[in-house]
Structure 1
Amino acid sequence: MRLPATAHTSRPWRIHEIAGDFHLEDVWALPTPGGRDDLPYLVRQFTSGDFVENSTSQVARLLFAVRWKLGALLGWDKPGTGVGGRVRTLHDRLPEDLRDAPRGPAFRGGTFTPLYLTRDEWAAEMANQTVHAVLHVGWVPDDSGGYRGQMAILVKPNGLFGALYMAAIKPFRYLGVYPALHRAIGRTWQANASERARADRGQQ
Structure 2
Amino acid sequence: MKHLLLLTALIAGTAPLCAQSTVIHQFKFSVAEELRTSQKVEDKSRNVLNGFSTTVALSPEQVDSIRTWAVRFASTELGEPVRICETRNMVYPYPGSFEAGLLGGLPLNTFKMALKFCEGATKFVEFNCEITGGGTTTVGEWSSVKPRIHLRMQLFDREKNSQKDIEVTLKDFPRLHGRVSQRGSVETKRSQALSAEEIVAMFQEALEALVAR
Tell me the TM-score normalised to structure 2 length.
0.30
- Bigger radius of gyration among the two: 2
More helix by share: 1
Tell me the TM-score normalised to structure 1 length.
0.31
More strand by share: 2
